[in-house]
Structure 1
Amino acid sequence: MDTDVRRYLDDLVAVARTVLGDDLVGGYAAGSVGLGAYQPGRSDIDVALLCAEPIPDEAKRALVAGLRHEALPCPARGLELVVYRRAVAASGTAEPGFEVEVNTGARMAFRATYDPADRPVADGHFWYALDRSILHQCGHALLGPPAAEVFADVSPADLRRLLVDALGWWLALPTPAGDEPAPGAEDAVLGACRSLVRVRHGRWLAKTAAGRRVLADGDEAAPVIERAIAARLGGTPPSGPEARAFQQRVLDEVARAA
């Protein structure tokens, strides 16, 4: 793990401990850090904290204040942190179920949400259960038991429904209509590859690794996937229409699997 990231995660857990005390029972790196694919300058830092009991509003706000980039500078593009009660993490629910979440960073818009009911539906409610599924398989424990022991996976039916929702959400985002390379299209393509690998092979992989796994399957969209992988290293990304066509095909396959 990157030294700056390791130090930051240690400091983050210390801040959470100061605010939550003994109610803090776990801390886990998710996303690219948990998947062993952190890319300095590109990746976010994703963290899930576990608490034993519901968090009072005052403590939620104190935690957000202590973890804001202005108080604890994030060495990555930004921090995406979610706090769950231990019982929610163990339930396998498909619902958001969080206590509080915060996005903060030098290159990330600040956002704090103190109740799932305040999360706009248009922003997607599928993220949380999918993230907990990734944590179940790949979470890196910073504090507490191994992630697989505290995060239950969602059911196969819920997983497919959540992936369909996620792919539909991505497809609804505006993209350039022409054939010119579309910055960011690589993430759309490789994110779809990750969903496809989870459905076909039962494993969560980092985006680039997922793209290579789909290539190994002999996928007909190999040129688009190869460009998406190259773009992660500074190459030319696919066009918007190419990315959307691949995403739609993945969505159709995931929906059929249900």
Structure 2
Amino acid sequence: MRPYLTELVDRTRTVCGPRPVSVLAVGSLALGDYRHGRSDVDVTVVVDPSLPRPALAELAAALAHPALPCPAAGLELVLYGAGFAARPSARAGYLLDLNTGPDLPEKVSFDPDGAAPFWYVIDRSVAARAGLRLHGRPAHEAIAEPDRPDLLRALRASVREHTDGEGHLADNRVLNGCRSVVFCRTGRWTAKRRAGRAVAETDPAFRPLIENALAGYDRPRRAARPLPAADVRAFLTWVAARVEETARASEDPR
């Protein structure tokens, strides 16, 4: 992974010149839970000044698999302007959103208006707290932590997406739910597997489901195992109630 990230930074600097303020590894790499064959590589780039559309398209082409062969399941790269990234926001707000890789549907977007903002709000929170500096300024100097009400709204939307959305692996749905519960209880982002073990310990009614999700998460993405749909939905309904309780307590701290 290290040579890949080094080449990604080099190509970003070649296209962007002096503009990159920070290049950060986020997601599973930042949280210490990268699983080869399962995890994506998540990268956040902050530039100042903003890049024009032709340069954004050139960067996307330079980083796309297989022009830059991705050794992970996929690359999810989001690029922000420094002015936007430095302020808390509930918007998606990106200049470029690139998904590419052997197991990831290709996506290149320059328009955040139609994007579901919760993905980006949560990712910026993880980046601000735990982002690993690959180039430039450290994460806390480049990315603002979202305001707590906006973050809790993003968690609500995330749980809804993993309950009803299409294309999510069952084990990932469950472990994302565990991570949301641990965040509500501790105020900290935790790696999915650690979150799963924590919730399995404190909430034994869901232990069999979570243990099956953990076992599945150790397998490559293409070899993922199904989980009982009714059990997954029941668990995520319970997770949604925990998020709602946290949101209400945050609104009325008495």
1:96 is paired with a residue whose SS is coil
Equivalent residue number for residue 94 of structure 2: 98
Report the AA paired with residue 210 of structure 1: A
Equivalent residue number for residue 193 of structure 1: 178
The partner residue of 1:7 within 3, 7, 21 is 3
Report the AA paired with residue 245 of structure 1: A
Report the AA paired with residue 125 of structure 2: S
Alpha-carbon deviation of 1:218? Answer: 3.7
Query: Quick one: distance in 1 between partners of 2:143 and 2:242?
Result: 27
Equivalent residue number for residue 233 of structure 1: 218
Q: Percent identity?
A: 39
1:98 is paired with a residue whose SS is coil
Matching of residues 66-81 of structure 1 within 5 Å: 66-81=62-77
Equivalent residue number for residue 178 of structure 1: none
The partner residue of 1:86 within 82, 85, 108 is 82
Alpha-carbon deviation of 1:241? Answer: 1.1
Query: Quick one: distance in 2 between partners of 1:236 and 1:170?
Result: 17
The partner residue of 2:28 within 28, 32, 53 is 32
Answer whether contact 2:35 2:218 (CA < 8 A) is retained.
no
Query: Residues 90 and 219 of structure 1: is their aligned pair in 2 closer, same or farther, counting only changes over 3 Å?
Result: farther
Q: Deviations over 1:43-84 (max 9, x none)?
A: 111100110122101101110110111211111111110001
Report the AA paired with residue 132 of structure 1: R
The partner residue of 1:172 within 164, 171, 187 is 164
- What is the TM-score normalised by the length of structure 2? 0.90
Equivalent residue number for residue 132 of structure 1: 124
Query: Quick one: distance in 2 between partners of 1:39 and 1:45?
Result: 10
Query: Quick one: distance in 2 between partners of 1:150 and 1:59?
Result: 21
The partner residue of 1:208 within 190, 193, 196 is 193
Worse-matched range after superposition: 42-51 or 141-150: 141-150
Give the aligned length.
243
Report the AA paired with residue 15 of structure 2: V
Say what the alpha-carbon RMSD is for the aligned residues. Answer: 1.7
Alpha-carbon deviation of 1:118? Answer: 4.5
Q: Deviations over 1:197-234 (max 9, x none)?
A: 11110111111111112233345312211221122224
Answer whether contact 2:20 2:136 (CA < 8 A) is retained.
no
The partner residue of 2:140 within 148, 151, 154 is 148
1:256 is the counterpart of 2:245: yes
Query: Quick one: distance in 1 between partners of 2:56 and 2:12?
Result: 10
Runs of 4+ in structure 1 deviating by more than 6 angstroms, as ranges, are none
Answer whether contact 2:21 2:142 (CA < 8 A) is retained.
no
Report the AA paired with residue 98 of structure 1: Y
Query: Residues 245 and 32 of structure 1: is their aligned pair in 2 closer, same or farther, counting only changes over 3 Å?
Result: same
Report the AA paired with residue 197 of structure 2: R
Query: Quick one: distance in 2 between partners of 1:33 and 1:127?
Result: 17
Report the AA paired with residue 91 of structure 2: E
Answer whether contact 2:65 2:101 (CA < 8 A) is retained.
yes
Equivalent residue number for residue 54 of structure 1: 50
